[in-house]
């Protein structure tokens, strides 16, 4: 039976400098196209651009039928091997980006004590770092007990950015609790449950060989341009069949 969920999808550029930020942008486009094909709703909660228009980080809220079931296995480190558009000598570069898939708990599931957070306000910025809002509507929230820092700047309304940032913080605190619970389980039980850690390299996108390889199921998929255009269903179904 289909179930409607909301998740937070966080993509961060990793190793590889500007090329990593361009890869993060490509992953964002890939997931956005896939979400559109599924009829899901998307909302950008936060984004941080690199100097050449790539993405250092982007946080999306995605809502729809079976969204958690279909995207939960996307969490981990994604690696790309290609000749960047900025490479003049024709050398192949290897870059990475990390993907986190977080469930959004309710306010009753994760309660945030106002005395345990610090809020900072600033002007939102766009591509190239220029300020896009004259007022301080962007917000940075620091959770003092854990040191977790979240930001939101995509809305022109400060209160909406505050709510978005709190939702991101709840999702990260919920994830932290889940990992802590899992670490208490026996190794055998952890292996049975399985959980994609962000540090785990899960997939390689090799443009020169026109293939995407998922290392968890040791399977490759061809027509990489189509996959990067959002044609993820074969990969997602292959993972669902194994997990």
* First-residue to last-residue Cα distance in the chain: 19
* Structure confidence at residue 135 (pLDDT): 62
Q: Are residues 56 and 85 in the same domain?
A: yes
The pLDDT tens digits for 64-123 are 999 999 999 999 999 999 988 777 777 888 999 999 999 888 777 888 999 999 999 887
* Structure confidence at residue 192 (pLDDT): 43
Q: Are residues 99 and 135 in the same domain?
A: no
Q: Are residues 140 and 159 in the same domain?
A: yes
Q: Are residues 166 and 133 in the same domain?
A: yes
The pLDDT tens digits for 175-212 are 888 877 777 665 554 454 444 345 578 999 999 999 99
State which residues form the domain around 176: 114-184
Q: Are residues 95 and 56 in the same domain?
A: yes
Where residue 32 sits, what CATH number does that domain have? 3.30.70.1660
Q: Are residues 22 and 45 in the same domain?
A: yes
Where residue 175 sits, what CATH number does that domain have? 3.30.160.20
Q: Are residues 87 and 25 in the same domain?
A: yes
Q: Are residues 34 and 125 in the same domain?
A: no
**Does the pLDDT value for residue 130 go beyond 70?**
no
Q: Which helix H or strand E contains 35, and what residues bound it? A: helix 17-38
**Does the pLDDT value for residue 145 go beyond 90?**
yes
* Structure confidence at residue 2 (pLDDT): 57
CA angle 41, 44, 49 (to 5 degrees): 145
From CA 13, how far away is CA 19, in angstroms rounded? 9
* Structure confidence at residue 90 (pLDDT): 78
Please tell me the total count of domains within the chain.
2
The pLDDT tens digits for 7-25 are 999 999 998 888 999 999 9
Q: Are residues 119 and 179 in the same domain?
A: yes
Torsion of CA 82, 230, 28, 141, to 10 degrees: -140
Q: Are residues 15 and 99 in the same domain?
A: yes
Would residue 55 count as lying in a domain? yes
Would residue 223 count as lying in a domain? yes
The pLDDT tens digits for 23-78 are 999 999 999 999 999 999 999 999 999 888 899 999 999 999 999 999 999 999 99
Q: Of 163, 184, 205, at which residue does a domain stop?
A: 184
Q: Are residues 82 and 9 in the same domain?
A: yes
Q: Are residues 13 and 96 in the same domain?
A: yes
Residues in the chain, total: 243
């Amino acid at each position: 039976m289909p179930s409607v969920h909301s998740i937070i999808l966080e993509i961060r550029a990793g190793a590889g400098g500007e090329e990593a930020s361009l890869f993060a942008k490509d992953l964002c486009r890939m997931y956005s196209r896939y979400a559109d094909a599924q009829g899901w709703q998307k909302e950008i909660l936060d984004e941080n651009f690199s100097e050449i228009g790539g993405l250092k980080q982007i946080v999306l809220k995605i809502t729809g039928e079976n969204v958690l079931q279909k995207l939960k296995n996307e969490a981990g480190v994604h690696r790309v091997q290609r000749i960047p558009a900025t490479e003049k000598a024709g050398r192949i570069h290897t870059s990475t980006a990390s993907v986190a898939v977080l469930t959004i708990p309710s306010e009753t599931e994760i309660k945030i004590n106002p005395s345990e957070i610090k809020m900072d306000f600033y002007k939102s910025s766009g591509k190239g770092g220029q300020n896009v809002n004259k007022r301080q509507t962007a917000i940075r929230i620091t959770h003092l007990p854990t040191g977790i820092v979240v930001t939101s700047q995509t809305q022109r309304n400060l209160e909406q950015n505050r709510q978005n940032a709190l939702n991101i913080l709840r999702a990260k605190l919920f994830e932290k609790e889940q990992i802590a619970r899992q670490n208490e389980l026996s190794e055998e039980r952890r292996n049975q449950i399985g959980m994609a850690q962000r540090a785990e390299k899960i997939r390689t996108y090799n443009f020169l060989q026109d293939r995407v390889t998922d290392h968890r199921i040791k399977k490759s998929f061809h027509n990489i341009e189509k996959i990067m255009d959002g044609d993820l269903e074969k990969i997602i179904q292959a993972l669902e069949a194994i997990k």
